[in-house]
Structure 1
Amino acid sequence: MTVTADLTTQPERTRSSGLLLAIILVGQFLAILNVNIVNVATPTIEADLHSSGAGLQMIVAGYTIVYAVLLITGARVGDLFGYRRAFLIGLALFNLTTLGAGLAPNTGSLVAFRFAQGAGAAMMMPQVMTLIQRNYTGAARGRALGLWSAVVSGGIVVGQALGGILLGLGAGWRIVFLVLVPIGVVLWIAGIRVLPADHGGGKAGLDPWGLVSLSAAVLLLVVPLVLGRDLHWPAWGWASMALSVVAFGAFVRVERWVTSRGGRPLVDARVLRAPGMRPGLMVLLFGPATWGAFLFTSALHLQGELHLTPLASGMMLVPCALAFAVVGLGWPRLPPKLQRSLVPYGYVVAAPAYFGLGLASGGGVPYAILSALIGAGLGVQIAVTNMATQQVESQYAADASGALLTVMQLGQVIGVATVGTLFISLSSAHVGSASMSTASALALLAVLAGISAIFLVRQRA
């Protein structure tokens, strides 16, 4: 009888485990998809809503700004109040704001909904890794983490392709948001039934003063970068960027104050002192900055200057996203010593490929090949995260990962704000060198990422 009971309960447990993994990974996929699916739609949004260049940048970057700033806080909320509850609340907010984005009547409301979408993603996504760690062990955990990596990389590929396919149907830009809503609703209902109950009870704390000072510093830097061109670079914009330096300094002092009082800051100074963390942070600032800027400007170039359809534009970037996914997924299978030594070479490949885009701005096969080289070169960023955290003490591992992911997202925001502004300024002024200047800026950022990667490899060695 005992054997029979075991045989009948084990399949049920396996099905429940598989459904749990499917729910949290689809949630992760939707959040990542939203970073890239909008890029292909920006020219259509511009035409329909009469958005300015600054408006387009905020539509793309607003989601990532809020996600980056609230990422660590989202993880703390799950620890304090329960991972199931945090995931479901984040998913509900994400669903509602995705619907709002799809129905937005103007640029301002679309930007607001994108900000709120980022908050939902920041609440939902940190719980995915924790739920995997709490509910899977041994080989099952290894398989779950492998699928998690595939979802992270696959979201980039599908975002570019799906955006082009949906727009190619002629349904307008709103479809890239509205098509996700029924999926999110089904996911939320399934999550209520399947996700295991937990009561949190963590003692990490939320560090509200750290969150406020970091948010202020980021907004003081990014907002004038995005709005400056349309407003003819007013004095308040330069003052705001100068104040951002002061605000970042205030954030550091706040974090030290929280630590001195026995609290747990958003970013612990002890984490930053670990070998490899500082160069790792620099790599994950400059590398993703090129990635975010490239995806944003390429959609405007391919559809605006080369007059490609949204579908053709999305397909042009699929080789890039596929190469990124292949390298990112294949990298962990290499011997550790080979992983370490080859990291800087990823940026050695990416930098000249970025520069080559300026020479191949006419599109076609050369453009697709160069974009694939860019994706392959930047695929090493997954290895960078692992290398930077290997010598962090175990009790600070979550803080270190959160800091690296936050900087990675902020890098994309800064890339869109700076290189995106450069491209829009030159192209709107009908300067023939817009593509070449943008490509040169991307190549320079890739070089800086490569130099930082050399320091990372030396410290690890």
Structure 2
Amino acid sequence: MLAVLLTALFMAALDVFIVNVAAPTIGSDLHASGADLQLVVAGYAITYSVLLITGARLGDRVGHGRVHLAGLALFTAASLACGLAQGSTELIVFRLVQGAGAALMIPQVLSLIQRTFTGEARARALGAYSAVLAVGAAAGQVVGGVLVSADLFGTGWRPVFLVNVPVGVFLLVLGRRVLPPGRGAEAERARDLDLPGLVLLGAAVSLLTVPLVLGQEEDWPLWSWLSLATAVVLFAVFCGYESRLARRGGAPLIALRVLRHPGIGLAVFRILAVMSVNAGFLFALTLHVQGGLGYSALRAGLSFAPTAVVFGAVSLTWRKWPAAWQRALTPAGFALTAVSAAVVGLAFRDGGDGGALLYVGYAGVGVGLALAFSPTLTGALATVRPEDAADASGLLATVVQLGQLIGVAAFGTLFLNRLESLGALRAYTSAEAFSVCAWALAGTAAVGAVSGLVLRRR
């Protein structure tokens, strides 16, 4: 069961970033504008993040196995549609649908882990979850580069989506055998879906992310600032509505008792920080090595292999490290990420390929992000009550996606703004733009290191 769930998780995490290295090929093949390509990349994450909590709630009501399989079927069908799309508009729409399928299937992974495993077995399963989640994000760039460069049967970028189809069909067949077929005991106390809260949150997230994604392309017009301001207002309205609903005895989209659970609030901040740095680093680095240095999709994708490999290794082994180290892992991970991001920026500063120092920085980023993310997620969920598993998993999975979306939008915009101010795209101008971005990434990680010093309330 765990293998089926984690393979589906890997596909969903992979698809957040697999399009990055395929974007230039998609643009030339479909004659897509820069704004279209940004929506192709971000559309998946928008619906994914907005619908995650509702997906978790549906699992409680209908059955986690059933909802996971339904989401997997939708994700697989949307992947096929993306691979066959004939225009950029079609591709954007199908990416939105693909994100909705991921939002249905992924919250069930954490919920089933929480309800199936106990004690040390649960901690190991959560460690594997953390490793698969972040390795999928890094591996997306590698797999995307390999598939685009292979140009299988002259299909160019299409295999980055079509690769999900046979895997999805296999998981559907196997999942019907190994996943819980019906509703569990939690179905009797399942709560309403809070559709008004979903609409408010969806509108707020959309109004926040769309201008962040498209603002740079459109030279930050008035509508982008009005949209950001409206998003802040809607977030406030959403919080007020959720509080009133909870006081009336209703079922808010985000249960307040979960937010008050020891460690959850701090974990939300840490995960938001680490995933923003992770996504921003990968996205800005992709822009630099493909645009500035002229790397092929394959070479660009393979550049991320050291980060992915060490992230996975550390995520799977950190619990075996000495007990005396455990409390220091999160701040140490953030601090190592900050130093390593700065090292990568320095390695590229002269417009060259970075040399051996670059790979030291890559590995350091992978180790640091793993130490910042995996202990945080495991610690936050290890003591959550089973009846709160769906809400906690939906909340933290949403934070993961929002962090990735904000990282791509914020650090991508910083890179592009700096590059535009320097004039024509050249290796040295791209290197300077990435160096500025690398220092911003290092600063964000440093803030995470400070937050890691705050002891989790027991």
CA contact (8 A) 1:57 1:416 kept: no
Q: How far apart are 1:140 and its partner, in Å? A: 7.2
- Shift, 1:460, TM fit: 4.3
Shift of 1:135: 5.4
In structure 2, which of residues 125, 140, 154 is the aligned counterpart of residue 159 of structure 1? 140
**CA deviation string 1:20-61 (max 9, x = no partner):** 444333222221221232222223223333434433332222
1:25 is aligned to 2:6: yes
Change (3 A) 1:387 1:88: closer
Q: State the match for 2:224 in structure 1.
A: 237
Residue 366 (str. 1) matches residue 381 (str. 2): no
Please list, as runs of the form range in 1=range in 2, the aligned pairs for 1:233-312 lying within 5 A after superposition.
233-312=220-299
Q: Secondary structure at the match of 1:199?
A: coil
Over 3 Å counting, the alpha-carbon distance change for 1:359 and 1:148 in structure 2 is closer
Structure 1: distance between partners of 2:159 and 2:36: 19
CA contact (8 A) 2:335 2:446 kept: yes
Encode CA deviations 1:321-358: one digit per residue, 9 max, x unaligned. 11211222122223455221231111111112222322
- Paired residues of 2:80 and 2:161 also in contact (CA < 8 A): yes
Indicate whether 1:211 and 2:187 are aligned: no
Contact 1:57–1:417 (8 Å) recurs in 2: no
Whole-angstrom distance in 1 between the partners of 2:274 and 2:125:
27
1:73 and 1:266 in contact (8 A); partners too: yes
- Once residues 380 and 198 of structure 2 are traced to their aligned partners in structure 1, the CA distance between those partners, rounded to angstroms, is 24
Question: Which of these residues, 81, 88, 94, is aligned with residue 69 of structure 2?
Answer: 88
Give a deviation string over 1:229-276, Cα, whole Å, max 9, x none. Answer: 222211121111111111110111111122122222222223323343
Tell me the distance in 1 between the aligned counterparts of 2:180 and 2:379: 32
Counterpart of 2:396? 404
Match of 2:169 in 1: 185
In 2, distance between residues paired with 1:393 and 1:450? 28
Write the distance in 2 (CA, Å) between the matches of 1:338 and 1:137: 23
After TM superposition, the structure 1 stretch with the greater mean CA deviation from structure 2, 312-321 or 99-108, is 99-108
| Pairing 1:331–2:318 present | yes
Aligned letter for 1:185? V
Determine which structure has more spread, i.e. the larger CA radius of gyration.
1
Choose the corresponding residue for 1:414, options 406, 414, 419: 406
TM-score under structure 1 normalisation? 0.87
Aligned pair in 2 of structure 1 residues 280, 186: CA closer, same or farther (>3 Å)? Answer: closer
Q: Give the aligned residue type for 1:105.
A: Q
Give ranges in structure 2 of 5+ residues lacking alignment.
none
1:2-81 matches, within 5 Å, as 20-81=1-62
| Amino acid in structure 1 at the alignment position of 2:281 | F
The size of the alignment, in residue pairs, is: 440
TM, length-normalised to structure 2:
0.88
Give the alignment partner of residue 181 of structure 2, picking from 190, 197, 218: 197
Are residues 241 and 139 of structure 1, via their aligned partners in 2, closer, same or farther at CA, if it must alter by over 3 Å? closer
CA, structure 1 residues 351+174, in 2 after alignment: closer, same or farther (shift >3 Å)? same
Structure-2 separation of matches of 1:23 and 1:286: 29
Matches within 5 A, 1:92-103: 92-103=73-84
- Offset at residue 302 of structure 1 (A): 1.1
- Are residues 267 and 246 of structure 1, via their aligned partners in 2, closer, same or farther at CA, if it must alter by over 3 Å? same
1: CA distance, partners of 2:4 / 2:378: 26
Q: Does 1:127 align with 2:126?
A: no
Code of the aligned partner of 2:418: L
Contact in 1 for aligned 2:135/2:311 (Cα 8 Å): no
- SS for the counterpart of 1:130 is helix
TM-superposed deviation, 1:450? 1.7
In 1, the alpha carbon distance for the partners of 2:180 and 2:346 equals 54
Q: By how many angstroms is 1:219 displaced?
A: 1.0
